[in-house]
Amino acid sequence: MSKIKVAELFYSLQGEGAYLGTPSVFLRTFGCNFQCAGFGMKRGEHSKERENVDPNNYERYDDLPLVHTGCDSYASWDARFKHLSPMMSIESIVDKMQALLPGGKFGPDKHLILTGGEPLLGWQRAYIDLFEEIGKRDMNLTHITFETNGTQPLHEDLKSWFVDNEHFPWINITFSVSSKLPSSGEAWEDAIKPEIIQEYYEYSSLLYFKWVVSDEDDYVDILKAVDIYGKVCDIESIPIYLMPAGGTSKVYDSNEGWVAELAMNNGWRYTPRLQVQLWKNAWGT
């Protein structure tokens, strides 16, 4: 049976997007193909906050400091912190899910979220074992969401499982795609992959885009990305969510109003970030 390197496994509320407020088990896998050191920085500058955290001082995610620039889930991909993320067997992951879930089961209002890092990077075949184990234990799983940066192709085996599996004939597969804009510090050609989006669109019950907006330049880049994605899928049928930038309440609060208006003016959706509002963006939320 396969194993997954697990950064975090916790029960919380979905804080963003289409299933906002839905109680969910979050499986945060280890590894990412990006670093997103540009978040919260002037264009062209990279955050050093992560590099200043000494991994030797920490033995659990909950004790790690929060960063306010760069990637806020840095320890889920930075190899210096890999000792915090154990390789877990599928059985032990599902045991923990059962312990976390009220009543030990999922259901229409308790979802499974695979997040990262980038969850579609290395564990796609292991997910099949994971879903099968959940199915064997009759845990009534109805909704799986992949929170992805939209750059990784789907493995043929996972695609086959989506369309033809024994346990979940009516499973809802959602791709919550947060494509990285140049303000993240990642290059456009690495981050905007229309052929990948087309594949997710084809194999999902729901695909939506979710963009963090910090300034007018982000808006211009979003328009450009929407135009490119519109060439490979029916963009009118895909919800677009804007959410205010800000890992701290102060920055977040200052962005809320104008980002909400920007969403309205474009006929797009606005999503708050509950994990910032309720729990100050702490690890495990």
30-69 residues near ligand SF4, rule: CB under 6 A: 32, 34-36
Closest to ligand SF4 by CB, 151 or 255: 151
Q: Which of 15, 17, 38, 116 binds ligand SF4 (CB under 6 A)?
A: 116
Closest by Cα among 246, 21, 17 to 257: 246
We find the least distance from the C-beta atom of residue 46 to ligand SF4, in angstroms, to be: 12
DSSP 3-state assignment of 254? helix
Closest to ligand SF4 by CB, 35 or 183: 35
DSSP 3-state assignment of 252? helix
d(CA 147, CA 118): 8
DSSP E strand stretches across the chain: 3-13, 23-29, 87-89, 111-115, 143-148, 172-177, 206-213, 240-244, 269-270
User: Tokens 């997910």, residue?
Assistant: 127
Q: 186 phi and psi, to 5 degrees? A: -90, 150
We find the least distance from the C-beta atom of residue 74 to ligand SF4, in angstroms, to be: 7
177-206 residues near ligand SF4, rule: CB under 6 A: 180
* 212 binds ligand SF4, rule: CB under 6 A: no
We find the least distance from the C-beta atom of residue 2 to ligand SF4, in angstroms, to be: 22
* 78 binds ligand SF4, rule: CB under 6 A: no
Closest to ligand SF4 by CB, 69 or 204: 69
Name the one range near ligand SF4 by CB under 6 A: 28-36, 55-63, 99-107, 242-250: 28-36
To which H or E segment does residue 284 belong? Answer: none
* 117 binds ligand SF4, rule: CB under 6 A: yes
Closest to ligand SF4 by CB, 34 or 208: 34
Q: Distance of alpha carbon 122 from its chain centroid, rounded? A: 15
Are the C-beta atoms of 196 and 153 separated by less than 8 Å?
yes
Site residues (vs ligand SF4, CB under 6 A)? 32, 34-36, 71, 73, 77, 116-118, 149, 180
